[in-house]
Amino acid sequence: MKKPDSIATPFSPMRKVVAYRMTEATQTIPHFRMVKEIVIDDLLALRKEINQELQEGKVSLNDLLVKATAAALMENPKLNIQVIDSEIHQFSHADIAVVIAVENGLMTPVIRQADMKSVVDVAIETRDFAARAAKGKLKMSEIEGGSFSISNIGHYSIDQFDAIINPPQAAILAIAGATKKPVVKRGEVSIATVLKVCLSLDHRALDGRDGAIFLDSLAEVIRNPERLLAKQLA
């Protein structure tokens, strides 16, 4: 009898954890999703301005988006939570988990109190997390907890995707690639850089209105990004 033209490879320990967590999330969390397009030209201009002032190390678009998300969470604390059993645990700061792809899996180190850190601080911390994640050097305390997650695969030029919530968090923001497209501003058509984001929410704790208000707040911060230069977000 001819053998199948395939090779069976067991899941790595990390892949087993990812598989368990994702299965748990999809089976126990009633997900719903909301999509929004946001013009980011002013945010890109701010990034260029910041990086021109830096001697070494650069701020990425994702670093600015983490900071913008922290600002939106401070304005909309209903999303800045964990859901444990039948209780909502409210966080006083934006502890944002950043999804990092590594060989055979995903890691989600948490930028604690992102609302209290400068954009440069966020960039330095994220680079350190990414470097140590690739070597398997992250501590358990660095990947536990978090009040919200961001998954950004925009560098792969993906138009849109949605992400699975990382329990016990109640929301995750999936960020796709930015594209140039015509937009109407003050009655005139112009070409802008547009980012499409998809927000996944836990319907046990959050409703459509909560997600819509959060996305509007996020868009407003991104369209007027000067406030992100402040270290502490009121």
Q: In this structure, what token pair is assigned to residue 119?
A: 């954009």
**What pLDDT does residue 234 have?**
47
Note whether residue 3 is domain-resident.
no
33, 72, 149, 152, 188 from 167: Cα distances, Å: 16, 20, 10, 18, 44
Share above pLDDT 70 across residues of the chain, in percent, rounded to a whole number: 97
DSSP 3-state of 179: strand
pTM, 2 dp:
0.93
- CATH number of the domain encompassing residue 122: 3.30.559.10
With 90 as the cut, is the pLDDT of residue 111 above it?
A: yes
**What pLDDT does residue 3 have?**
64
Q: Which amino acid is at 154?
A: G
Enter the DSSP assignment of 122. H
- pLDDT tens string 24-56: 999 999 999 999 999 999 999 999 999 999 988
Note whether residue 165 is domain-resident.
yes
10 Å Cβ neighbour count for 4?
A: 7
9, 12, 101, 133 from 15: Cα distances, Å: 12, 5, 12, 14
Would you name the residues annotated as active-site residues?
A: 203
Instruction: Provide the number of structural domains found in the chain.
Output: 1
- pLDDT tens string 155-166: 888 899 999 999
**What pLDDT does residue 61 have?**
96
Note whether residue 215 is domain-resident.
yes
CA angle 227, 233, 234 (to 5 degrees): 110
User: The domain containing residue 221 runs over which residues?
Assistant: 31-226
**What pLDDT does residue 96 have?**
98
Distance CA 165, CA 201 (A): 7
Average pLDDT, the chain: 93
Note whether residue 25 is domain-resident.
no
Q: In this structure, what token pair is assigned to residue 128?
A: 């350190």
Distance CA 102, CA 160 (A): 21
**What pLDDT does residue 230 have?**
74
Note whether residue 20 is domain-resident.
no
Backbone angles phi, psi at 154, to 5 degrees: -60, -25
Note whether residue 83 is domain-resident.
yes
How is the chain split among helix, strand and coil, in percent rounded to 5? 40, 25, 30
- pLDDT tens string 52-84: 999 888 999 999 999 999 999 999 999 999 999
**What pLDDT does residue 1 have?**
58
Distance CA 191, CA 107 (A): 36
Q: Which of 206, 193, 222, 105 is nearest to 165 (CA)?
A: 206
Note whether residue 158 is domain-resident.
yes
Distance CA 158, CA 130 (A): 21
Note whether residue 23 is domain-resident.
no
DSSP 3-state of 175: strand
Adjacent-strand bridge partners of 90: 81
